Structure 1
Amino acid sequence: MRRLFTASPTHSLPNRIYSTGELFLGALLLLGLGSLLSKLMTQAANWWLAYAAYGLISLFVLAFWAQGPLGWANRITLFRAVLIALVAGALAYDTFTQAIWLWLVVATVALLLDGVDGWVARRTQSFSTFGARFDMELDALLILLLCIGLIRLESLGLWVLLIGVMRYLFVAAGWYLSWLSKPLYASFRRKLVCVWQVSALLLALTPLTHPYLASLLALSALISLAYSFGMDSWWLYRQYRR
């Protein structure tokens, strides 16, 4: 998570054209990678779901970015979006279960790139609130997709979805309790919990992991996430009461 805002957006047609063009190149990259990783995209439904996910991500970019070219840091994040779209697409008809190791590799690369785009942003001085939000939304989506995969693969129960939807519930609660939507301080604990969530889910999804251990890993992700959100909520409440 990265990038502090440095410039106000300019909502002009040329800037929109730049953004749309780069998103179109991302769509072509999705087509190329999906064709290469054909074991994950065996049916039309896989492609439809992948492009639906990528389409939602593209709408997010167009809604919140209007400064022309994305820049290298955000381009790396967009590549993460392509990989996450492939992760989503392979969930259709449980295709991912037939190529589970390949699916996990794609998800792991998407996780590892989370640190690369932040490093590039620091090196190129391209910090922005959009970049941080872009990262955060992709992390949340990847976690939700892994939760769905874990339920499909291990049949652990719908409680696993709490890991994936907790952030969205937190955001929704902020619509009714305005103090929950206030800015939070930077936190290493928050980043660590995010990394552990994805890592625990990836470990739980490997064929080498016993179902009992998979449930413990998922439970640890849920408990750590609940603790992190609890700490943030308590801090925001104390700021509100002052």
Structure 2
Amino acid sequence: MDQINPDLPRVTRRSLASSLRTPGGQLVLYGAVGAAVVGLAAFALVGAEARAIGLSFAGYTVGLALVLVLLRRGFPHDSIGLCNKVTLARLALTSALLAPLAGSAAPWVVFAIAALALGLDGLDGWLARRDGLSSDFGARFDMEVDSALALILALNAWAAGTAGAIVLLIGLPRYAFALAARALPWLDRAAPERFSRKLVCVLQIATLIALQLPLVAASVANPVVALVAAALIWSFGRDILWLWRTKP
């Protein structure tokens, strides 16, 4: 009979500890913590509605898997740092906001969780600069969470009847741009940093958060949405024009 290696459990524990110290291992570990945040926030939104909470977990799982793929494409640091943990918390809160699409949620709770997700935006970037952990991964992670938050809030506002289908125009620009870049590779490049782009993004998310409240009448919401959509078209159009003029 073969002898069992008594050192095997120790080696396995050491290997597990080593893997958890890698950026990918840290992301998985804190991703598990984020899952608890998803569950708590979704429960606060819809109570014990299993289908709605399941939708939030499904969205979070897909989002976390995509973030891991993005991380493995290249990450220059040994630790994900507090900055990316904050962005991960924003992903968890954003995923929880899927629950109202399949359940009944109090508008003020939707507003509060969305406002918290927006409030944490900018903190991750500041932490990255403070700790010397800035990276293309972190910037992309932050941008994708912003895009997902905008789309989910737009869907919630439309489903709740606070705004008409026009609200989807301010939830979809990032995804429409990404789809266009698949057909036109010259679009798939970084445009110069512009304060105006960040300002329009904050205006977009802030408007969508305000639309979660039933106090906003559709007769007021739709014209405001049209103005924000025009600002987004201008911002994206400005970047597209620069990318076209500088294409290889």
Q: Report the TM range for the smaller structure's normalisation.
A: 0.7 to 0.9
Q: C-alpha separation between the residues in 2 aligned to 1:47 and 1:154?
A: 22
Corresponding residue of 1:181: 188
User: Is the contact between residue 87 and residue 103 of structure 1 (CA under 8 Å) also seen in structure 2?
Assistant: yes
Give 1:13-24 correspondences, 5 Å limit. 15=22, 16-24=24-32
Distance 1:148 1:140 in 2: 12
Distance apart, 1:19 and its partner CA: 2.4
Q: Does 1:207 align with 2:214?
A: yes
TM-score (norm 2): 0.84
Equivalents in 1 of 2:91, 2:47: separation in Å? 16
Q: CA 1:83–1:118 in structure 2 vs 1: closer, same or farther (change >3 Å)?
A: same
Task: Please list the CA deviations of residues 185-211 of structure 1 after superposition, one character each: whole Å capped at 9, or x if unmatched.
Answer: 111111001000011122233222222
Shift of 1:116: 1.3
1:163-178 → structure 2 map (5 Å cutoff): 163-178=170-185
TM-score (norm. length: structure 1): 0.86
For residue 92 of structure 2, the aligned residue among 82, 95, 99 is 82
> Is the aligned partner of 1:228 residue 2:238?
no
Residue 67 (structure 2) aligned to one of 53, 61, 70: 61
Amino acid at match of 1:120: L
Name the residue aligned to 1:72. 82
Instruction: For 1:197 and 1:145, locate their aligned partners in 2 and report how far apart those are by CA, in whole Å.
Output: 12
Query: Which segment is superposed worse, 58-67 or 212-221?
Result: 58-67
Q: Which amino acid aligns with 1:54?
A: Y
Q: Distance in 2 between matches of 1:103 and 1:151?
A: 14
**Alignment equivalent of 1:152, drawn from 127, 134, 159:** 159
Change (3 A) 1:52 1:170: same
**What is the identity, as a one-letter code, of the residue corresponding to 1:65?**
L
- Aligned counterpart, 1:5: none
Aligned length: 225
Separation of aligned partners in 1, 2:227 and 2:212: 14
Letter of the aligned partner of 1:137 in structure 2? E
Out of 124, 132, 143, which is 1:125 matched to? 132
Task: Pick the structure with more helix per residue.
Answer: 1
Distance 1:200 1:28 in 2: 28
Could you list the runs of 5+ residues in structure 1 that have no partner in the other structure? 1-11
- Kindly name which structure, 1 or 2, has the bigger radius of gyration based on alpha carbons: 2
Query: 1:204 touches 1:213 (CA, 8 Å); kept in 2?
Result: no
Superposition deviation, residue 90 in structure 1:
2.2
Q: How far 1:154 moved relative to its partner?
A: 2.2
Does residue 55 of structure 2 align to residue 45 of structure 1? no
Q: One-letter code of the match for 2:38?
A: L
Question: SS in structure 1 opposite 2:171?
Answer: helix
Shift in Å at residue 63 of structure 1?
0.7
Question: Aligned to 1:185, what secondary structure does the other structure show?
Answer: coil
What is the aligned partner in structure 1 of residue 143 from structure 2?
136
Q: Which moved more, 1:14-23 or 1:175-184?
A: 14-23
How many angstroms apart in 1 are the aligned matches of 2:122 and 2:30?
A: 21
Corresponding residue for 2:111?
104
2:5 alignment partner in structure 1: none
Listed as ranges, the gaps of 5+ residues in structure 2 are 1-17
Determine if the alignment matches structure 1 residue 28 to structure 2 residue 43.
no
Deviation at 1:219, TM superposition (A): 1.2
- Residues 40, 103 of structure 1: 8 Å contact kept: no
Looking at structure 2, the residues matched to 42 and 91 of structure 1 have their Cα atoms a distance apart, in angstroms, of 14
